[in-house]
Amino acid sequence: MKVRILGVVVLTALIVAVAFSVSVPAAPKAGNANALPTPAATAVPANAIPPDHPEIREAIASLRHAKEHMEHAAHDFGGHRVEAIRATDEAIHQLEICLKYDR
């Protein structure tokens, strides 16, 4: 039962991290719907730093904290603890790839 709850928590953390990392551009105002953006407004400065993605970094920290708790658990839970740790490692790896992809 505890392993199932832990699995749901890990899955929820991963879903929340991915959901917050996706951004949707705002719709243009009705009066400016046909206006073209000026080149200065769309140009990205050469020294622009990509966003830090605090939600993804927070999710990674939460997953590492959960993994630490699982590693120090008193029981093996029929082998499910090992599988949960493996799934947590994979989730952390995928989120780290997300951060590298943005750069």
Cα distances (Å, whole numbers) of residue 72 to 54, 85, 91:
27, 11, 19
Per-residue pLDDT reduced to its tens digit, 39-81: 454 454 555 455 588 899 999 999 999 999 999 988 888 889 9
Phi-psi domain of 30 (left: phi exceeds 0; alpha: psi -120 through 50; beta: other): alpha
Task: Find, among 63, 66, 53, the residue nearest to 98 by Cα.
Answer: 53
Q: What is the pTM of this model?
A: 0.50
Element (H, E) at 48: none
Mean pLDDT across 73-95: 92
Look at 77 and 12; give whichever has higher pLDDT.
Answer: 77
Rg (CA), the chain: 20
DSSP assignments along 77-103, one per residue: GGGHHHHHHHHHHHHHHHHHHHHHHT-
Contact by Cβ (8 Å): 86, 5: no
